[in-house]
Amino acid sequence: MAGSCPANVAAGKLGVVDVRIIEESEMDAVAEVMSHAFGFELKPEDQEHFRRAFELDRVIGAFEGDLAIGSGGAFTFDLTVPGGEVGCGGTMIMAVLPTHRRRGVLTEMMRFHLDEVAGRAEPVAALWTSEAPIYGRFGYGVATQFFRTKIERSRVSFPRDPLGSGTVRLVDLAEAGKLLPPLYESLRLNTPGFLTRNETSWNEGHLHDPPRWRDGGTPKRWVVYEESGTALGFASYRQHEKWDQGLPSNRLVCGAILAATPGAEDGLWRYLTGIDLVQTIECWNTDLNSTLTRIVADSRRIEQSLSDGMWVRILDVPAALTSRRYQVEGRVVLELTDPFRGSAAGIFALEGGPDGATCQPVKEEPDLRLDVRELGSTYLGGFTFTQLAGAGLVAGSREALRKADVMFGWPVRPWCPEVF
C-alpha cells in the first residue's frame, strides 16, 4: 500500500484531503492504514473482526484522491459519571499513514469526529491514547488512571479470614458469555469511568481471544466468584508457562477484576494468588479502589505503577455537568477556554448537589478559570482543581478551588476497566 502513494507525498505536499464516514466497501482500506500506523500485520481474520467490532456508520476515513490515508471513528457508549451516566462518543483507531504524518490529517479527522459526536447529542467524548502528548490539544484531559500491579506470589499472604463465604469457579467461554454481561451491567453504575458493553463489545472484545492476542500465553481463563449460586465477581487471566532450571516460574497476566462486594474481590485475589507454579502475577489494569494492599500481610510486596488511563473531552458543558451529581450542595462559576472547537468556551454557573444540578451560561465574574481539558480531568472526580492549579492549569482563589473540589469529589475513585 505504501508503494502506491502518489509522488507528491514524497515531496511533502498533501493534496486535497477528504474526511468523511466511510462506505462499507472502504473498511479494508481503512484497516490498512491502521496496520501501517499501529504496526501490526493485517490478516483476513482481522478484517472480518474489524467489520464486526466497529460501528461502520461511525468509522471515519481520510482520503487523498482514492488513497485512504487516515482512520478514526467512534464507539457509542454511556459513560458512568458520579451519580449517573452520560452519552459518550468513544474515540477510536485514530491513525495516519506514515507517509502522510504531521501534515494536519489527524487534526482534520478530530474536527470531523468531535462534530459527529456532538451531532449525536453525546455531551462528551472519551479515549485511551497510544501516546500521552497527542490529545490535550483537542481538549481531552486525563480523567482516570491506569494502575498496574505486580505481585511476587511467594510474598503474598492473607492474615485474616476471607471476607466472603463464596467460592471461585472456572467457566468456559460459552458460560462466561451468559453470566458476565448481566453481572457487568449490575456493577456498571457503581464506579465513574465504566462504559456500557453491548453484545458486540463482549463478543468481539472481551470474549474474543485469537491466538495472536495471547503473547505466548494460554487462552483466556474466566473465573466467577459466587455466593449461594449468585455470581458476584469475575476475573480473566492467562498463564505463561516457564521453568527456570527445574523451578516453576509461571507468570499470570490478569485482566480487570470486577467485584460487586468486598468478599468477591477478596475471594478473587485469594484465588489468583493461590494458583500453583506461578511466580509473578501481573494485573495490567487494577481498580484504583482495590482493597488488595489492605487485605494482604505485606502491602510493600505489591508493586504498583500509575499512568494516564481514559481521557475525557467535554463538548456540551451544561449537558455534561448536569448529568452527574455533586458530593455537597454548592455553586461555582467556571470560565472555560476551548481553543480547538469553541463549543465549550464561556462562563458557566454550576449549581449542584447530591440530588442533581443546573448549569447555564452567565455573565458573571468567574470563581475559576480553566481550559476544557482540565474540566475533563476533574469531571469524574479523579483529579482536583487544587492539584491542577498547582500545575498552573486552573486559576482561582484557594477557597474557590476547595469549594469546587469538595463538590466534584466522589467517594469512589474513577476507573475504566477496558482499554478501547
Ligand X SMILES: CC(C)(COP(=O)(O)OP(=O)(O)OC[C@H]1O[C@@H](n2cnc3c(N)ncnc32)[C@H](O)[C@@H]1OP(=O)(O)O)[C@@H](O)C(=O)NCCC(=O)NCCS
Per residue in 91-110, is it b (16+ CB within 10 Å) or e — as a string?
bbbbbbbebbeebebbebbb
State the Cα–Cα distance between residues 47 and 383, nearest whole angstrom. Answer: 39
Choose between 91 and 322: whose C-beta lies nearer to ligand X.
91
Q: How far is the CB of 308 from ligand X (least distance, A)?
A: 12
* β partners of residue 359: 350
Any contact of residue 131 with ligand X (CB under 6 A)?
Answer: yes
Q: How far is the CB of 100 from ligand X (least distance, A)?
A: 7
State the Cα–Cα distance between residues 292 and 286, nearest whole angstrom. Answer: 10
State the Cα–Cα distance between residues 214 and 206, nearest whole angstrom. Answer: 13
Out of 63, 135, 383, 385, the active site residue is 135
Strands 17-21 and 59-64 turn out to be: antiparallel
Say if residue 164 is exposed, middle or buried (CB neighbours under 10 Å; 0-12, 13-18, 19+): buried
Choose between 102 and 398: whose C-beta lies nearer to ligand X.
102
Q: Which of residues 29-48 bind ligand X (CB under 6 A)?
A: 37-38
Choose between 64 and 287: whose C-beta lies nearer to ligand X.
64
State the Cα–Cα distance between residues 235 and 380, nearest whole angstrom. Answer: 24
Any contact of residue 130 with ligand X (CB under 6 A)?
Answer: yes
Binding part of the chain for ligand X, among 82-90, 96-104, 227-235, 303-311 by CB under 6 A, reads 96-104
Q: How far is the CB of 299 from ligand X (least distance, A)?
A: 34
Binding part of the chain for ligand X, among 131-139, 267-275, 316-324, 337-345 by CB under 6 A, reads 131-139
Amino acid at 76: T
Q: Pick the binder of ligand X from 49, 101, 111, 325 (CB under 6 A).
A: 101
Any contact of residue 134 with ligand X (CB under 6 A)?
Answer: yes
Any contact of residue 125 with ligand X (CB under 6 A)?
Answer: no
Any contact of residue 12 with ligand X (CB under 6 A)?
Answer: no
State the Cα–Cα distance between residues 406 and 391, nearest whole angstrom. Answer: 19
* β partners of residue 251: 240, 280
With contacts defined by CB under 6 A, how many residues of the chain interact with ligand X? 18
Any contact of residue 17 with ligand X (CB under 6 A)?
Answer: no
Binding part of the chain for ligand X, among 124-132, 152-160, 216-224, 349-357 by CB under 6 A, reads 124-132
Contact 310, 128 (CB under 8 A): yes
Say if residue 24 is exposed, middle or buried (CB neighbours under 10 Å; 0-12, 13-18, 19+): exposed
Choose between 131 and 355: whose C-beta lies nearer to ligand X.
131
Any contact of residue 341 with ligand X (CB under 6 A)?
Answer: no
State the Cα–Cα distance between residues 98 and 95, nearest whole angstrom. Answer: 9
Binding part of the chain for ligand X, among 80-88, 89-97, 111-119, 221-229 by CB under 6 A, reads 89-97
Contacts of 76 (CB under 8 A, 6+ apart): 55, 58, 89, 90, 120, 122
Choose between 71 and 149: whose C-beta lies nearer to ligand X.
71
Tell me if residue 147 is catalytic.
no
Tell me if residue 135 is catalytic.
yes
Q: How far is the CB of 360 from ligand X (least distance, A)?
A: 33
Choose between 44 and 133: whose C-beta lies nearer to ligand X.
133
Helix, strand, or coil (residue 319): helix
Choose between 127 and 151: whose C-beta lies nearer to ligand X.
127
Q: Which residues are catalytic?
A: 135, 420
The residue ranges that bind ligand X (CB under 6 A) are 37-38, 94-96, 101-107, 129-131, 133-134, 137
